[in-house]
Structure 1
Amino acid sequence: MKFKFSLKYLLLTLLILLVEVLIATKLSGIFFVRAYLGDVIVVMLLYTFVKTFIEINDRKLIGGILIFSCFIESAQYFNIAEKLGFRPGSLMYIVIGNSFSWIDILCYAAGCLLLYLFVRMTVPKNVTAASHP
């Protein structure tokens, strides 16, 4: 792992963030998109954000994102946003979330699986096994 800025991943991060904002604001009436697709995509947002600044093993990063996502979802069970003092409707309250759901964990896992498959398909064949085992 080393620090290395990537314009490509920054642009992807901004694009995915825009999609997430559109899902939350303009597509909220389409239940499937708001309830499930946003959670699938958010792990991809985390992946591209980290890759913007850090060169890291893809499998470890995706695994770490899944663990992090499950941790945040589990913290929602204990109303962590309220305990941290965030008011309902505030940005951090929305980002952290406020209700635990096993379905959300499945969506995060599906997003990580899709991300892993995409990364695996796009890694150049000449990359060594040490950098992408």
Structure 2
Amino acid sequence: MMKLKFSLKYFLLTITIFLVEVLIATKLKHIFFVRAYLGDVIVVILIYTFIKSFFKIENNEKLILGILIFSFLVEFAQYFNIAEKLGFREGSLMYIVIGNSFSWIDILCYAVGCLLLFLFVKLQKNNIQNN
């Protein structure tokens, strides 16, 4: 179940992760591993914290699965050049956000990011139950 509820903690995490993503895209783009892989791992965590900023969600595992499916759909849409078909010009913000090239490595990075999220949620849940 989802309830509209603002969380300052998740909102601040979202801003921090977003700034890390901007840093990766602008200042660390010359470091291949960081730009090519780490940014894609982190982006699913960014989506998670953004959603948790505004919604209280009881089943975090379903949320993570939903984010994984969403990220896969966006990546597969890139295969069909969706940004161009929607009329976004190369170099525009939306063209960059949506992406313009399909990659199986990106799919793997999203899966790794969601796996890390899942493990973190499970660890957090276990810590709460043990205290």
Looking at structure 1, the residues matched to 41 and 91 of structure 2 have their Cα atoms a distance apart, in angstroms, of 22
TM-score by length of 2: 0.94
Q: Does 1:21 align with 2:22?
A: yes
**What per-residue deviation string (whole Å, max 9, x for no partner) do you get for residues 78-114 of structure 1?**
0000000000110000000000001000000000000
Partner of 1:121: 123
Question: Structure 1 length normalisation: TM-score?
Answer: 0.93
More helix by share: 2
Provide, for residues 48-80 of structure 1, a one-character-per-residue CA deviation record: whole Å limited to 9, x for no partner.
000001111110100000000000000000000
Structure 1 CA distance for aligned equivalents of residues 36 and 117 of structure 2: 19
In structure 2, the gaps of 5 or more residues are none
The 5 A counterparts of 1:84-95 are: 84-95=86-97
1:54-93 matches, cutoff 5 A? 54-56=55-57, 57-93=59-95
Superposition deviation, residue 13 in structure 1: 0.1
Q: Does 1:31 find its partner at 2:35?
A: no
Deviations 1:9-59 (A, max 9, x none): 000000000000000000000000000000000000000000001111110
Task: Report the Cα distance in structure 2 between the residues aligned to 1:118 and 1:20, rounded to whole angstroms.
Answer: 20
Match of residue 99 from structure 2:
97
**One-letter code of the match for 2:77?**
A
Q: Offset of 1:125 from its aligned partner?
A: 1.0
- Match of 2:7? 6
Kindly report the root-mean-square deviation, in angstroms, between the aligned alpha carbons of the 2 structures: 1.2
Quote the sequence identity (%): 77
* Unpaired runs of at least 5, structure 1: 127-133
How many aligned positions are there?
Answer: 127
Other structure's SS at 1:115 match: helix
List structure 1 segments (4+ residues) > 2 angstroms apart after TM superposition: none
